[in-house]
Structure 1
């Protein structure tokens, strides 16, 4: 039995600090293990009592003939440290450290004590959950090694949902919400400080459970992204969706803000990109974490985003259409054949396009549902359905509504959500296993999440496996001047503007003549990342005198600011229909991050960018660009043809490959990169590259 298997399905459990009082931390697990059917051996450890809660005790763990699989350490302070050491010496596979006062505090002593005791445990082959852990609970086996009071207030029911959380409270709050909706929960685990076993590693172990249909995560940090990626891969292998609520926004990794990319790729946006890359849906809040749960449990496999709304209320039809539009779900009209059939059933004043408004005729003919639903089920324009019955009572056969809709859902095999604010109406739908919501907005949000999450999982399954992130270089960043930066990009296959590095006015004049036409003259220095603010950029120069004057102006400006002079760059003037940007930086936790989006000098003031984590392909870049605010401009507006992005997409993939293959590069900005209508219209006009402070070859 592996260590984490012993944590989730132990054969024997010792409780160190066992208490007779079930309302104490050392007493609650004993109560739960007896009440919830744990079939293994339970050993209370208490030197002051011979019996606890009807079980014979041992004074010390070392008094046992063999080590238990799992030990619960429910004593405080130094006693907890000593108990953990005893567990390691005995050969315990996993210990749950419930004691607090360690790494979660601001105390250096507490953090150091935590590190030391975990190192000793790992040296003896023992894994540690915690410290500051509320415990683990597996209701499939009865191994409820937790002190949460939630399981007394809300009785458990084994079911198809797992919850893994760093927070004790957030391991049981979703549990309570799900149980309130009649949904069973198998796993609810809290890892606490993540000093050894992290929330990500435990999630990977829980994802192996083939009985699960939904896995929920609460993350305050992502201590080991590779383990979370592994959890996602394991889950996808058997169709298990993961929904994660990630709280907290920190400044970790913001040393990269030396570049535009660092400012745009803040940690929280990188988390978004990472979760999307691995097919994990990110919830916005606690309610959002569980809102779509019933849909995941039905086994539906959505095939598109087209929704049909059906109601006996015109208002519900309108609000459903509004919610669908806001969520990006299309309400495509039903086919003419379907509409024709519906007209033979519904009154002349009913709407049969989509939404389908049955009208108040439902009151006098409760069989209308049974008549129209089979017709709609055959329509090829529908991928999902919303059925709204906002008000019903006397004269309505609400039980028939539920029965007919359940039969309809079974026939189509497609997602169906119900809007029924009245409990009288909701009950017959809910009793037949249909997801019921009190309003149109909640129903459509859940449907939208379910459909798009399925798309995310499919896209993630088609990607190359992501390698573990190599540690970033400990050496400080070194800015390459523009000439070196452009050379790095050109070598990677990124189209750069024709240019020359010149160290004398005569070289600059000769370069301008060779390039032909108007040129740009820019000061080049390894001390300056952004040149415009220092007067180092001179554009549209057409004669030798202006080029020579610009050279001298750049040299003077660099000297005035105390910056090294590496020469000037003389570059051909290139214009396009739009300025975009490409960027990348090396996140300390997630590795290379690539930014694509709108460019120009306002890139930070009015950001419009998307993040991608390598490996990705051109289709991934195209989808990311399609989510930007400028997407309609790129697609062509007011009679303009669309911009051609083929070379830009290739360049973005090349940037991802460069960051993956060259760990010395810490960040880079390519801004602007101009694009136009012609396939060859894609040129990087400027570049900034930061590398680790090591010897680099000159271009």
Structure 2
């Protein structure tokens, strides 16, 4: 199902004025009983209506047999009955005008045979203005309003507290596991929502609604698929406007994980590198695992806006200083020396054997003089050569004035306005710093990684500023039986080069020759050595069939190559469209540009190192159009081959601006509505040390069905 371009507000899902529970149970430990318990316990102020044909009262509330027996339609209905009863309840909700139904029953789209039934349910509901969360949903929980329409046990184990964090997840478990971790750290959570199968309301659409909450500072997402990137991009844009950080955990990084996602939610797994590119381009930080999802929460909630990556470590342990320096170097946060005046001032305070450049090692002298800590922090605060700080106290306690350390550190953070993290493995020491509102971690490595996440995410958001929200493209549509051959048309090399040249891509001088005499004439016209390649609209990769002959300089060799290509194609049962005779070109490096259409994200462009080993030794980056030259340059700079492109051992750098323009031309071509390009490959694109030296030597273009 595709989402409408202008979807109605989901306010009734997040802040309903009235809630009905279909299948309401007296037992608070059953799916139909727990939401009633929560609505009562967590302060929901709207009206609650149990629906149970066998009881006049459920958990102290008047019950009615059917929704139609209520005086007014509720905003939200919880469907806590299974199977066909759930389908009938959904139709009843639509009939009486319910706005949103949370369908907790499973056995629909996440099973092999339930997808069609799920689709029919959504069509009937949409036709009558009903939105569905689920099926297979654990429910929705808004602790700001008390509207906890969920059956999760987590809210009993970890008492809720309203706060500035929202969690939106396709998985029920992953809507509450981050909640539990955050509550264990004393962080309040306002939203904890699970969308289940995403049959109608998707995790992305609900995230876009939650992002509008004015009390939100951090939005955490768990995604098993991204069926509607439009809504996720809109959520990210809203979050950027409001200063809300968005962190996403996208599962299915590996083929095994993708297979598990299919069995768990019936979702199509998105190609993982495309997901990376999409999240990056919209300023969403991608977490690696559940712990990573919440690791930097306290830093985000402080509201810090880092100005750079320069890092200063302060500790009473030389080992901690070294470990912090290692961790910072690994994530690209340089430890630049503090200014000469700062170091001179520190030397007047610290023992002669202390390190004052950066890291700053107070040494064990802190045990005999607890005042050293409070004395050096104002000195360091005045230095302009730092953007973020770590205070590491691996050992403190008896004999140390830890409360004073914590107060001084908090004053230091407030005075600089810059991010400050603390590493303190001892619980008592950590508690003193947490009481002053500082983020505390058990190890310097964890502290540095969280600090890096904050800084790098801030940079990511800055790059995403102004990024357009893509138009909704609907849900992925599987290709008809027969695959690409039945729905797409492969252009031969000559046609492919012509199509690309017309779009501004520089291509090698060449001629299409249908006779040996034409091929020999092309040698004379092009001058110098040539390549002769078999040309067919039925063969994408020529070298495997012996259809590529390079460095030919005389008429006899060209004529023999023509015959070999003709016979090779005949032997393969492929049509013979002639041969392409192309001038041999010189250059420094072979790069590549490729593009295709992802069923969820639309046009995708791949750039990187090229040549015959591009698949065996991939060194590429993905860009999602529209993009500009700056994004292409940044992608090239991130390649492993980037140092070679920049020039090594006295070699001049490769001139890349013409290649940058080539990649941008491909990006524009893929977004042209009438171009009809399904996929293309330019490999190799030869580049040299002068801007004129940029030529696509080979090209494969595949047109979509019906494209001219």
| TM band (smaller chain) | over 0.9
1:257-302 CA-partner distances (Å, limit 9, x unpaired): xxxxxxxx98111111111111111111101100011110001001
Matched residue, 2:109: 103
CA distance in 1, matches of 2:671, 2:690: 30
Q: Which moved more, 1:443-452 or 1:162-171?
A: 443-452
Equivalent positions of 1:45-84 (< 5 A) are 45-84=51-90
Task: Identify the residue that residue 288 of structure 2 maps to in structure 1.
Answer: 284
SS of the counterpart of 1:466? coil
* Counterpart-to-counterpart distance in 2, 1:65 and 1:279: 47
Candidates 112, 118, 125, aligned match of 2:122: 118
Q: Is this contact kept in 2: 1:273–1:611, CA < 8 A?
A: yes
Distance in 2 (CA, whole Å) between partners of 1:561 and 1:657 is: 35
**Corresponding residue for 2:585?**
574
TM-score, with length taken from structure 2 = 0.94
Mapped to 1, the partners of 2:422 and 2:70 lie a distance apart of 57
Matching residue of 1:260 = none
Compute the RMSD of aligned alpha carbons: 1.8
TM-score when scaled to structure 1?
Answer: 0.95
Q: Distance in 1 between matches of 2:350 and 2:690?
A: 54
Are 1:606 and 2:617 counterparts?
A: yes
The 5 A counterparts of 1:640-651 are 640-651=651-662
Q: Say which of 8, 11, 17 aligns to 2:23.
A: 17
Does residue 502 in structure 1 map to residue 508 in structure 2?
no
Distance 1:469 1:85 in 2: 28
1:208 matched to 2:212? The reply is: yes
Q: Is the 8 A contact 1:463 1:615 kept in 2?
A: no
User: Where do residues 513-528 of structure 1 align in structure 2 (5 Å cutoff)?
Assistant: 513-528=524-539
Shift of 1:695: 5.6
Preserved contact between residue 608 and residue 636 of structure 2 (Cα < 8 Å)? yes
User: Contact 2:229 / 2:470 at 8 angstroms: preserved in 1?
Assistant: no
Q: CA separation of 1:694/1:230 partners in 2, compared to 1, >3 Å: closer, same or farther? A: same
The CA deviation string for residues 565-609 of structure 1, in whole angstroms up to 9 with x for no partner, is: 111111111121111111111111110000010000000000000
CA distance in 1, matches of 2:161, 2:664: 48
Q: Deviations 1:489-525 (Å, cap 9, x if unpaired)?
A: 1111111111111111111111111111111111111
> How far 1:663 moved relative to its partner?
5.1
How far did 1:464 drift? 3.8
Tell me which residue corresponds to 2:174.
170
Instruction: Return closer, same or farther for 1:2/1:65 CA change in 2, 3 Å cut-off.
Output: farther
Taking the aligned partners of 2:663 and 2:536, their CA distance within structure 1 comes to 26
Shift, 1:112, TM fit: 2.6
Query: Which ranges in structure 1 are unaligned for 5 or more consecutive residues?
Result: 255-264
Match of residue 225, structure 1, among 210, 225, 229: 229
Q: Which moved more, 1:534-543 or 1:283-292?
A: 534-543
Offset at 1:667?
Answer: 0.7
Q: 8 Å contact 2:134–2:196 — kept in the other structure? A: yes
1:344 to 343, 348, 358: 348
Q: Which residue of 2 aligns with 1:461?
A: 465
- Note closer, same or farther for the CA distance 1:68–1:302 as it changes in structure 2 (3 Å cut): same
Following the alignment from structure 1 to structure 2, what is the Cα–Cα distance between the partners of residues 104 and 427? 45
Q: Is contact 2:226-2:270 (8 Å) kept?
A: no
Match of 2:154 among 144, 150, 170: 150
SS of 2:604's equivalent in the other structure is strand
- Which segment drifts farther, 10-19 or 332-341? 332-341
2:548 matches 1:537: yes
Output the CA distance in 1 between the equivalents of 2:630 and 2:367.
50
The farther-off stretch of 292-301 and 443-452 is 443-452
Task: Measure, in 2, the Cα distance between the counterparts of 1:158 and 1:206.
Answer: 14
Q: Compute the displacement of 1:641 (Å).
A: 2.2
- 2:228, 2:473 within 8 Å by CA — same for their partners in 1? no
Q: Deviations over 1:409-445 (max 9, x none)?
A: 1111111111111112111111111111111221111
Which position in structure 2 is the counterpart of 1:394?
A: 398
Write the mapping of 1:437-448 to structure 2, written as runs, cut at 5 A.
437-448=441-452
Contact 1:3 1:94 in 2 (8 A): no
Contact 2:94/2:129, CA 8 A, preserved across alignment: yes
Change (3 A) 1:3 1:67: farther
Q: Judging changes above 3 Å, is the alpha-carbon distance between structure 1 residues 351 and 695 closer, same or farther for their aligned structure 2 residues?
A: closer
After the TM superposition, which residues 409-424 of structure 1 pair with which residues of structure 2 at under 5 Å, given as runs? 409-424=413-428
The CA distance in 1 between the partners of 2:490 and 2:120, in whole Å, is 39
The 2-side partners of 1:251 and 1:691 are apart by 28
Q: Does 1:131 align with 2:135?
A: yes
Secondary structure of the residue aligned to 2:349 is coil
Q: Distance in 2 between matches of 1:250 and 1:115?
A: 28
- 1:693 paired residue number: 705
Contact (CA 8 Å) 1:132, 1:193: kept in 2 or not? yes
- Which residue of structure 1 aligns with residue 264 of structure 2? none
Using the alignment, how far apart are the partners of 1:656 and 1:379 within structure 2?
45
Deviation at 1:466, TM superposition (A): 3.0
Query: Which range moves more in the overlay, 154-163 or 407-416?
Result: 407-416
* CA distances 1:501-560 after superposition (whole Å, capped 9, x unpaired): 111111111111111111111111111111111111111111122111111111111111
2:249 and 2:75 map into 1 onto residues whose CA distance is 31
Partner of 2:433: 429
- Compared CA separation, residues 652 and 469, structure 1 to 2 (3 A): farther
Q: Aligned equivalents of 1:670 and 1:465: distance in 2?
A: 28
Quick check: 1:324 aligned with 2:335?
A: no
Please show how residues 168-317 of structure 1 align to structure 2 within 5 Å. 168-249=172-253, 267-317=271-321
For residue 692 of structure 2, the aligned residue among 673, 676, 680 is 680
Q: Deviations over 1:441-467 (max 9, x none)?
A: 211111111111111111111334433
In the alignment, structure 2 segments of 5+ residues that lack a partner are 1-6, 259-268, 481-485
Q: Distance in 1 between matches of 2:625 and 2:502?
A: 19
Inter-partner Cα distance in structure 1 for 2:346 and 2:528: 68
Counterparts in 2 of 1:498 and 1:266: CA distance versus 1, 3 Å = farther
Q: Residue 288 and residue 141 in structure 1: after superposition, are their counterparts in 2 closer, same or farther (change >3 A)?
A: same
User: How far apart in 2 are the matches of 1:554 and 1:67?
Assistant: 74
Equivalenced residue count is 683
Give the match's secondary structure for 1:344. Answer: helix
Q: Which residue of 2 aligns with 1:639?
A: 650
